[in-house]
Amino acid sequence: MIHLVNHIWIGATSGTVFGLAGSLFFAFTAPVLILAFLAVLYLIISEGDEIQEKKTLKRPTFRLWTFPVLVNGPFGVVTAAELIGIALVSVFVIWACAAYTIRDWGEISKDQVTSFIKSCLMLERSGARLGLIGLFCLSLLFLPISRGSILLRLIDIPFEHATRYHVWLGHLTMALFTLHGLAYVIAWAMEGRLIEQIFEWKDIGVANLAGVISLASGILMWVTSLPGVRTRNFELFFYTHQLYVVFVVFLAMHAGDFIFFMCSGGIFLFMLDRFLRSIQSRKTVDIISATSLPCGTVELVLSKPACLRYNALSFIFLQVRELSWLQWHPFSVSSSPLEGRYHLSVLIKVLGEWTEKLKGKISNNEERQKLLETRLKSLITASVEGPYGHESPYHLTYKHLILVAGGIGISPFLAILSDVMHRLKEGKPCMPKNILIVWAIKKSDELPLLSMINMDSIDPIFYDALNLDIQIYVTRESEPKVEEGKAFGAMNTCTYPISKRSAISVLVGTGDNIWTGIYIVASSIGFLTFLALLDVLYINPYNITIWWYKGLLVVVCMLAGVVIFGGVAVAFWHQWERRMLASESNNYDTKKSNRALHDVAVEHKNSNQEYLVNSSTLRYGCRPDFKDIFGSASDHWGAVDVGVLVCGPETLTSTVATEIRSHSLRRKHNHPVFHFNSHSFDL
């Protein structure tokens, strides 16, 4: 049926000036672009909507996307919605392979040839079909890896979650492409023309050598992305993954223009995101202060404009050029967007070589603080991509929250707690009224992390509006080493003077919706314009029929549309940003702001200690008993919806997911429904 529909569509459209390539463009690429346009319109229209408190339902409800089904296995924790998606893709791949195999074998078996020739033909047919199915998967592969993707924002899936889907699709796509190449290699070897075919580069038909180069680069990316290699040598994974450029370009030359259009929509949206990221990351950002904690954690406070749009639970990619010009590392934002108009904070755990160098740089800078004050120049600078995260602050849609953290996993929950407190103070919509924080740490020297919350500007009367319970488990100490009241101890802070007010750029895909929409529409129009001009002025008049050349020209048109048309939109966006920053600077006193931000970095660390200590319970020498924790919450809160957010090691995440699944399966009518959500640093 699908085959018949394709033939009808191609027959109806291939007679146009764009030919067969135009037919496949409008069948596969155009729907992706149209969906992106509609997503832009939807986000612009709904941009002004505030978080509204939902009507109280009589009973709590289960949700497919927050109900964990699989908690252990190759996919990690998988929700019901994710399991349905995995099942649908698996069924499609199995059905397509079976349908193509049955049809091809039926056609080949009718030929009056030897069994050997039939086997070779079947291998080549199977290879072609596997490549075709791989292209369908490839059409989805680049969508989840676009950090500011308009489509991810439309369905409110943050990049950190979507990377899992990219990994799953990557394994499936490369498995299909590898089998695609292997089937041809076996057939050619059986026919005795392996070397000849591998190095063949046809003008009419697929260019085999281009396919070999594309597949080789893809396999190299695939092998170095496997968990064993990635965890042991992240830099090898990161650098080899830049081969995606080789993979895409040679794939286009291997397949030709019309076949490449089957997957070009997702690749084009990735190009949009990548170009915008490269523009944003060129700007250096002031590091306002750097705080070194006794537990081996560093807090960086970065300068940002007041108009920068982000939510709590967002994260940024950070590069410190004094340490490396190539390495980018993701970190959760630990401050609320309401906490400060001109600064943003991240917590960095010292775990590897890069973070060790960062801590060493800060320690050296502390000794040279007086020199900094005279030179008015920071000795370390940063480049930033982001912030990225959920389109809407979903943590504000639950009246009851359980935040489960392991070690540095407390970082995003500090932003949540600060966000809730500031919303209560400012009278903004905010549903959470009961928050339980369960924090497991190895040693008590990690306790000062909790004092990084800036609540010094909040009137204590607002503390009564929030029922906060913090349960801290120190797993590797049997008794306290310090007095509990002083557990949130002192730290060393190095504050840098701001010389030129260099803040995080607002040129980010999750930023201003109107400018993002203009950028996407302008780039898409540019892509279509270059394609049309190419066909009308060059391909048709000069009868260009070389497949690999036309495939390369499509990639050039995509790049030209993004860089030229999209670049003009970004240039106007940048001018708007400069005017906004100039307007802010009129009310921005550098000396006063330096002093105020120094206070933020130092004084607030002690201002909220009493409230935090009174809300905290410390337990030594034990781990959280989640069965008891969730059972107690069930008895205390009753039949309500409870949002559970987990940030920490995979073992902690799977343990919490297991308990939520178990509770859901044996839930009583007067018990809550726990909604599982995870926040991961594994990007």
Which of 26-40, 83-97, 313-327 has the least mean pLDDT?
A: 313-327
Enumerate residues 6+ apart whose C-beta is below 8 A from 42: 154
Find out whether the peptide bond into 330 is cis, omega within 30 degrees of 0: no
pLDDT of residue 464: 72
Give the helix/strand (H/E) hosting 584.
helix 566-585
pLDDT of residue 532: 92
pLDDT of residue 471: 92
What is the C-alpha separation between 633 and 400, in angstroms, rounded? 10
The helix-helix angle for 547-560 and 244-255 (nearest 10°) equals 130
pLDDT of residue 200: 94
Question: Whose structure tokens read 């944003």?
Answer: 280
Q: Which amino acid, one-letter code, is at 389?
A: G
Per-domain residue ranges of the chain: 1-46+262-284+506-586, 286-501+603-678
- What average pLDDT does this structure show over 234-250? 92
pLDDT of residue 49: 53
Beta strands in 455-605 (DSSP E): 467-474, 492-495
- What average pLDDT does this structure show over 145-151? 89
Instruction: Give Cα 132 to chain centroid, integer Å.
Output: 28
- 669 burial class (0-12, 13-18, 19+ CB within 10 angstroms)? exposed
What is the C-alpha separation between 672 and 664, in angstroms, rounded? 9
pLDDT of residue 380: 73
Instruction: Decide: 321 and 285 in contact? Cβ < 8 Å.
Output: no
Which of 144-148, 217-221, 654-658 has the least mean pLDDT?
A: 144-148
Q: Does the structure show a pLDDT above 60 at 320?
A: yes
Closest CA to 101 of 135, 73, 129: 129
For the chain, the 3-state helix, strand and coil shares in percent, each to the nearest 5, are 55, 15, 30
Q: What is the 3-class SS of 133-148, one letter each residue?
A: HHHHHHHHHCCCCCCC
Closest CA to 25 of 251, 268, 274: 268
- Rg (Cα) of the chain, in Å, rounded? 28
- Collapse the DSSP code of 489 into the 3-class scheme (helix H, G, I; strand E, B; otherwise coil) and give the result: coil
299 or 369, which is more confident:
299
Instruction: Give Cα 594 to chain centroid, integer Å.
Output: 33
Please spell the DSSP secondary structure of 374-434, one letter per residue: HHT--S--EEEEEEE--SS-GGGG-SEEEEEEEGGGGHHHHHHHHHHHHHHHHT------E
Q: Does the structure show a pLDDT above 50 at 499?
A: no
* % of the chain exceeding 70 in pLDDT: 83
Q: Does the structure show a pLDDT above 60 at 507?
A: yes
DSSP-assigned letter for residue 57: P
Q: Does the structure show a pLDDT above 90 at 590?
A: no
Instruction: Give Cα 241 to chain centroid, integer Å.
Output: 16
* % of the chain exceeding 90 in pLDDT: 44
Q: Does the structure show a pLDDT above 90 at 33?
A: yes
**What are the tens digits of pLDDT across the range 252-268?**
999 999 999 999 999 99
Alpha helices in 142-256 (DSSP H): 150-154, 159-191, 194-198, 208-224, 227-232, 234-240, 244-255
Mean pLDDT (the chain) is: 84
Q: Does the structure show a pLDDT above 90 at 275?
A: yes
What is the C-alpha separation between 129 and 137, in angstroms, rounded? 13
- What average pLDDT does this structure show over 374-378? 47
- What average pLDDT does this structure show over 309-322? 87
Closest CA to 331 of 360, 370, 297: 297
Decide the pairing of beta strands 641-647 and 400-406: parallel
Tokens of 444: 């008590």
Question: How sure is the predictor about 405, in pLDDT bands with cuts at 50, 70 and 90?
Answer: very high
Q: Does the structure show a pLDDT above 60 at 302?
A: yes
Q: Does the structure show a pLDDT above 70 at 531?
A: yes
- What average pLDDT does this structure show over 267-278? 95
Q: CA dihedral defined by 177, 183, 189, 192, rounded to 10 degrees?
A: -110
Instruction: Decide: 300 and 350 in contact? Cβ < 8 Å.
Output: no
Enumerate residues 6+ apart whose C-beta is below 8 A from 386: 147, 310, 314, 315, 316, 317, 508, 510
pLDDT of residue 454: 62
Question: How sure is the predictor about 228, in pLDDT bands with cuts at 50, 70 and 90?
Answer: confident
Q: Does the structure show a pLDDT above 60 at 484?
A: no
Length of the chain: 683
- Collapse the DSSP code of 517 into the 3-class scheme (helix H, G, I; strand E, B; otherwise coil) and give the result: helix
Instruction: Decide: 472 and 484 in contact? Cβ < 8 Å.
Output: no
CATH number of 286-501+603-678: 3.40.50.80
- Collapse the DSSP code of 149 into the 3-class scheme (helix H, G, I; strand E, B; otherwise coil) and give the result: coil
pLDDT of residue 497: 47
Q: Which amino acid, one-letter code, is at 458?
A: I
Tokens of 406: 């392991």
**What are the tens digits of pLDDT across the range 35-52?**
999 999 998 888 765 555
